[in-house]
Amino acid sequence: MEKKSSNNVIYTVDLEECNEEKSKSVKSKINRVKPECSISVIPPKYSKNKIREKESCCSHLCSALPLIGKNLKLKMEDHLLLGGEHSVKLSEGYSTPQNKFSKSISAEEKTEIVLSDPKFGMFSLFKYHLRRGYLNKELKKSNTVYCSHIFSLLFALPIIVFISQWVLFISLVLHEINTFDGEYCPNTSSLESKFMMFGTGLIYFVKSFFIWDNLTTRIGLKRMHRVDSVTVILDTFQEFLFNIIVYGANLWIIFSERDLQNMILNSLAMEFLMILDNEFEENYFKNLPGAAEDIYDNMYVTYETNRKLVKKKQKKDKCFRCVSCLIFIPYKLLLITIFCFPVVCLFMTIIGPICK
């Protein structure tokens, strides 16, 4: 028993009776409730979640494969590889491209962009020396003298690098042509030579996908070298053309050579030729990082600005318009070659060891 007072009125409450009444009412309510459904446990072997995961994996893969064709189509429509594919939404569920560009960018990032840009090569670097480099502003800032900077203009060192790449490449190719015995499927090589052909084909098959991805990445920079110049067109074509023909030549060298040591040395020589121009740029900007900043600040523009500059140049300059038209078909053939290169590598991986 418990006594409670409220407004001078005293109430007595029997707690035990109240508790008994509540428990009875709760039990009666529980007894009235009937189970509406029965729960069955699915064995782990036949779990529906696993089936759904497998279906979702296959469906995602099937939905991604058509995007490869769309990616090729966008590149084929993008004349001079300005990077137009990065301004188009690929499919539903993909993020919408943003045109916002942050102006606050470090000096190291500027140097990396200049080095990664395929449109800035040996011709553009030499042109920079003719337009701005001859003022020697970076030498004055650092209070140093670099021979690579002075003689790049005096002896045209970037152009010498370009010429040396092609001269050495042609000499190696001519050597292989002259030593080739004319038999395309002799099947007389040793087992280790066949293994070398098989292993190299596999490596290049894997690399071939990264060649295409490298093309996608390098034309999608935030800012790129302005393309309203013939030198920029030549640099872009040189960058991707030389790489793909070096890989193709290496596959042929390993297939045609009989000596294992010559296979390794000749293929390494080809790989060395491929990075000569990039190595020259890296060493140059390592000594003069301010030159990369100067190039970025004065010669690099956004995609939209690049499009306007190209259209304006095509209207005014007949020479640029002529070169742009002449390079149209070679550009498309180059893109198709890079896209189909995995098939070539796979073919050489299978047929090469059999016929070697």
Whether the pLDDT of residue 345 is over 50: the answer is: yes
Question: How confident is residue 99, by pLDDT bands cut at 50, 70 and 90?
Answer: low
Between 42 and 270, where is the model more confident? 270
pTM of the model: 0.79
Predicted local distance difference test score (pLDDT) of residue 38? 47
Give 195-257 as a DSSP string.
HHHHHHHHHHHHHHHHHHHHHHHHT--SSEE---SHHHHHHHHHHHHHHHHHHHHHHHHHHH-
Predicted local distance difference test score (pLDDT) of residue 103? 63
Whether the pLDDT of residue 184 is over 80: the answer is: yes
Q: 77-97 pLDDT, tens per residue?
A: 988 888 888 888 888 888 887
Question: How confident is residue 101, by pLDDT bands cut at 50, 70 and 90?
Answer: low
Predicted local distance difference test score (pLDDT) of residue 2? 46
Question: How confident is residue 37, by pLDDT bands cut at 50, 70 and 90?
Answer: very low
Predicted local distance difference test score (pLDDT) of residue 226? 92
Q: 225-256 pLDDT, tens per residue?
A: 999 999 999 999 999 999 999 999 999 999 99
44-65 CB burial, b ≥16 within 10 A, e <16? eeeeeeeeeeeeeeeeeeeeee
Longest Cα pair distance anywhere in the chain, in angstroms?
A: 123
Alpha-carbon gap, residue 167 to 187, rounded angstroms: 32
Predicted local distance difference test score (pLDDT) of residue 13? 47
Predicted local distance difference test score (pLDDT) of residue 15? 46
Tokens at residue 248, please? 């193709």
Whether the pLDDT of residue 67 is over 60: the answer is: yes
> Could you give the residue ranges of the DSSP H alpha helices within the chain?
15-32, 48-77, 107-116, 122-131, 137-142, 147-154, 157-179, 191-218, 230-256, 260-274, 276-287, 289-299, 303-316, 318-326, 328-355
Tokens at residue 168, please? 């050495």
Between 16 and 120, where is the model more confident? 120
Alpha-carbon gap, residue 208 to 214, rounded angstroms: 10
Whether the pLDDT of residue 74 is over 60: the answer is: yes
Predicted local distance difference test score (pLDDT) of residue 102? 59
Whether the pLDDT of residue 64 is over 90: the answer is: no
Question: How confident is residue 23, by pLDDT bands cut at 50, 70 and 90?
Answer: low
Query: What is the end-to-end Cα distance of the chain in Å, rounded?
Result: 105
Q: 135-146 pLDDT, tens per residue?
A: 999 999 989 999
